[in-house]
Amino acid sequence: MKKILTALCGKTPQIVTEALYALHEQGRFPSRVVILTTEEGRELCSTQLLHPEHGRIARLLADIGLNPDSLSVTEADIFTPRRRVADIVTEEDSRAFFELCLETVFSLARDHGTELLFSIAGGRKTMSAALALAAQCYARPQDSMFHVLVPPELESKPDFFYPAPPFAEARVTLTPIPFFRMRGQLQPQLLHSPASLEELSQVCMPQKPLEVELDFVHRSLTCEGRSLALPPALFAVYAFFALEKAVCPDAAELCPHGCRACAHAWADIEPRLGEMLNLYQQVETKALARGTSGILNLSAENFRSSLAKLRKLLVQAFGENIGMRLSIVSERRGGAASYALRIPRGQIRIVPQRCER
């Protein structure tokens, strides 16, 4: 079976040659390497690993007595997040890397004739968490995960790439990492295309459904016995998405994650700002908001910042897990981001009851 080393790399490309060396010792040398990294990592991998003569991979092949053609690694085997990520320093960077891992592992695992060897060594800890999560979702029975251990005194040596003079005595150990295989639990539609983190979290952590009450009199949101009163503009944005649930298909099994009916891109929302203003007027009886940041002048940018403020208030009031589930989420698949509330319509109660939508 064709083995593919799927390796993380931060700023030390040696982690890749160390893994290759150890796999060769175990008689499990791969015929392809896929490297998941950042822009900085890509730069280091191409200068240190790839050169067909002086690159460390070519030298490793020569040193262990393998034909130079037995493993060719090119720029096309180095994967980085679609959005330019130099290093992982923000939440957005980390999220982009999670998406990269989910998409890459999803596609690699589609070929049933391969065995994936996941190396979670290298890179920041968020990167290891991302690759491990992707493997848990998509790994098949033949796939495996490991961490690479090298003696501590060699970890910081920039010229140690694998045991060879002057480090011929060094040992590189691959330690297997056990993990749960969720692939068999995924609904078939989640194996047709790469799923978002939100979709997968529904499957991997089945949780008690949330019942939400949206109160137009008190401008509040109540869930799990706790209430949060919202500023009028944020309440209007939230109510807009809650009322959108009316268009969800009746048997909306998918509504908590994949439903398209209640998800909208900014281009669909902008022409409907009048509806949001209408909701605003129902809860703000004083003068209309003045200034350019008011609900009357919502732009794509301050719409996104409203969603961020909402999420912050929800997390403060309900905790990270429930707060995030109650938030208006943005999902990006290919084109523009679309926004939706992922609570099915049967679990949302609007008070006082409304006869129109």
**Which lies closer to Zn ion via its Cβ, residue 250 or residue 356?**
250
Radius of gyration of the chain (CA): 25
Whether 95 contacts 87, CB under 8 Å = no
> What span, in angstroms and rounded, lies between the C-alpha atoms of 77 and 274?
49
Q: How far is the CB of 241 from Zn ion (least distance, A)?
A: 10
Q: How far is the CB of 224 from Zn ion (least distance, A)?
A: 22
- DSSP of 211-267: PEEEETTTTEEEETTEEEE--HHHHHHHHHHHHGGGGS-TT-TTTTTT-STT-EEHH
Whether 172 contacts 26, CB under 8 Å = no
**Which lies closer to Zn ion via its Cβ, residue 56 or residue 342?**
342
Question: How many positions of this chain bind Zn ion (CB under 5 A)?
Answer: 5
Stretch that binds Zn ion, among 20-28, 123-131, 240-248, 267-275 (CB under 5 A): 240-248
Q: How far is the CB of 137 from Zn ion (least distance, A)?
A: 23
DSSP 192: T
> What span, in angstroms and rounded, lies between the C-alpha atoms of 322 and 314?
8
**Which lies closer to Zn ion via its Cβ, residue 172 or residue 255?**
255
Q: Tell me the helix, strand and coil percentages in the chain, rounded to 5.
A: 45, 15, 40
Whether 210 contacts 276, CB under 8 Å = no
Q: How far is the CB of 330 from Zn ion (least distance, A)?
A: 15
Between β-strands 144-149 and 173-176, what pairing exists: parallel, antiparallel or unpaired? antiparallel
**Which lies closer to Zn ion via its Cβ, residue 262 or residue 307?**
262
Q: How far is the CB of 247 from Zn ion (least distance, A)?
A: 7
Within 243-272, which residues bind Zn ion (CB under 5 A)? 248, 255, 259, 261-262
**Which lies closer to Zn ion via its Cβ, residue 130 or residue 259?**
259
Q: How far is the CB of 267 from Zn ion (least distance, A)?
A: 19
**Which lies closer to Zn ion via its Cβ, residue 209 or residue 319?**
209
Residues that bind Zn ion (CB under 5 A): 248, 255, 259, 261-262
